[in-house]
Structure formats: C-alpha cells, structure tokens
C-alpha cells in the first residue's frame, strides 16, 4: 500500500505527518542514556496514559509538567519529528515513548541500561480504538467499514504493522530485568496497584500518598479535562474531535459493542494462530 499519508520504514507504515527520513535517522542515531525510561506500545494501547504517568512517577508526583507542557513534548516519541526540537529540554531521568518494534530500536538502546515498560492491550480493543482514531485523524487514511479495517489490521496494513509481530518482538528480547510488561486492563482495573509496580520497577520508592495523588491525576476524567493531555490543542484539520474525541472512553472490553459473532470468530482465529506457543499471562483471553 502506498499513500502520501504514510512512509515506509523497515517495511512498516508510519504516518508522514509525524515522521520523515530525517526523524527516523535521528532516532537511529539517538544517544540513549542509562537512566532513560521508554514506554513502548503498539498504537492505541495506552501510550498517552503512560505519557501522563511516567513524569509523575519519575519526579515524585510533581504536577507542574502535566499542567504546563503538552504530553507530546513532556514524553516525546523517539521516532517522530518533534524529538529533535525538545530533546535538550528533557531532564534526566528522561521519559520517552515509542511504537517501534524491538529490532529497529537504535544501537545505543541495546548497549544501554535504559528501562522499558511495555503496555499490552487486548487486540480487539486496540482495533476498535484504532478504527475510531482513523475516523477523526485527518493525517491517516479513511478506515472504510469496520469489516474492511479489520482485514487491514489483521494483515498488518496499518501503521506499525501487525499487533502480533509487535508484541512478539518485545517478548523475545535479551532485556531481562530491563523490561516490565503491564496490561492496559490492569491499569484500568486498579491504577494505584499498577503505579506501585511501575514505581518499584523504576526504583522511585513513592509514598502511598504520592501513589494516590498520581492515580487521581492520571484518571481518565482528569486527563480528558486537561488540555495539555487531551490533544485539544491539535488543529482540527489533524484531529477532528467532533467526529470522535481523542480520549474516547478509556475502558476495557468496548469491543463487545462492536464485533459481530462472525467478525469475532475471524479475528480471534487469526490472532490465536499467530500467537500460538506464546505463554502470556494476561487478564483477558485471546480467544
């Protein structure tokens, strides 16, 4: 598939509005520091949530950044054009996000001690969220019908390729204790417990009072009301919130309202086949 809305990188489709040859070269040559923390996600799996959480966990719950800096500058994407402009403003420990699969991370990442929090989300909900996002994002192709988009999603003809390939690339790494896996649904179910896990992994030793404060400010309601987090600062030509709000529902299992029984059977059979042999401990079933 070729479209002016996308560029190809390692056989993956990336939106050309946010990525170009220079930004991808910048990412490849990026100098990762040992203290860096990467939130890694397949698109629509909780990226924006982690952009909210990480600065608070790394800075003892200081709320200043989330009220004064847009989230894309607060925790920038490794692969996007914006990083080169804001990287000098990032204070150590730096928090970054990426949608990159493991094998195209920059060489300096592999030789560093940087940590990774990989957020995994039920692919049925990922697809539904992505479908709605394509409807409101002017820089992405029109998704077509739900059926048509589902086929694109399953075949990897969407930005950043197949969900199954992305998950597997980060499951089979040499990172060992440098990577922590957390499910989006765990965060929905009990955010303070998720924050305790993240804090422990990053060694920040937050007090229970701070954990509760962060949980309150990282609730879906708080983020939806915060213009630095809800993408309302983005011009309408790029994101039309009248078609669908960027922060839409923030729930798990919305897929149950969207799939027909035939679509569900098709979707789960493909995903299960591709994830055969993967021992994932998840709060939801692939089937």
Positions marked active-site: 99
* DSSP 8-state assignment for residue 159: B
Cβ atoms within 10 Å of 73's Cβ, excluding its own: 16
Which residues are CB-contacts of 251 (< 8 A; sequence separation ≥ 6)? Answer: 188
* DSSP 8-state assignment for residue 9: E
Indicate the length of the chain as a whole number. 287
Residues 66 and 213: beta-carbon distance below 8 Å: no
Closest CA to 237 of 96, 112, 122, 140: 140
d(CA 135, CA 6): 16
Residues 263 and 150: beta-carbon distance below 8 Å: yes
> Kind of pairing, strands 179-183 and 37-41?
unpaired
DSSP string of 203-271, one letter each residue: T----HHHHHHHHHHTSHHHHHH-TTTSSTTS-TTTB-TTTS-SS----S-GGGGT--HHHHHHHHHHH
């Amino acid at each position: 598939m070729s479209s002016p809305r996308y560029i190809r990188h390692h056989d993956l489709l990336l939106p050309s509005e946010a990525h170009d040859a220079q930004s991808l070269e910048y990412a490849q040559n990026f100098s990762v520091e040992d203290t860096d923390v990467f939130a890694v996600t397949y698109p629509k799996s909780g990226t924006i949530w982690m952009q909210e959480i990480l600065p608070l966990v790394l800075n003892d719950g200081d709320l200043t950044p989330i009220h004064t800096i847009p989230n894309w500058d607060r925790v920038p994407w490794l692969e996007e054009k914006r990083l080169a402009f804001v990287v000098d403003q990032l204070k150590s420990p730096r928090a970054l996000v990426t949608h990159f699969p493991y094998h195209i991370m920059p060489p300096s990442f592999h030789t560093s001690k940087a940590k990774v929090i990989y957020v995994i989300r039920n692919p049925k909900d990922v697809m539904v969220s992505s479908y709605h996002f394509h409807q409101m994002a002017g820089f992405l192709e029109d998704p077509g019908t739900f059926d048509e988009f589902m086929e694109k999603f399953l075949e990897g003809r969407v930005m950043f390729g197949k969900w199954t390939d992305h998950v597997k690339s980060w499951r089979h790494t040499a990172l060992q204790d440098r990577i922590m896996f957390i499910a989006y649904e765990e965060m929905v179910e009990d955010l303070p417990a998720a924050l305790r896990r993240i804090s422990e992994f990053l060694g920040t030793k937050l007090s229970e009072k701070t954990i509760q404060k962060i949980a309150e400010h990282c609730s879906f309601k708080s983020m939806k009301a915060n213009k630095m987090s809800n993408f309302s600062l983005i011009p309408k030509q790029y994101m039309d919130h009248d078609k669908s709000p960027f922060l839409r529902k923030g729930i798990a299992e919305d897929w149950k309202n969207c799939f027909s029984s035939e679509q569900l059977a098709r979707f789960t059979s493909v995903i299960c086949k591709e994830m055969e042999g993967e021992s994932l401990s998840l709060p939801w079933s692939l089937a």
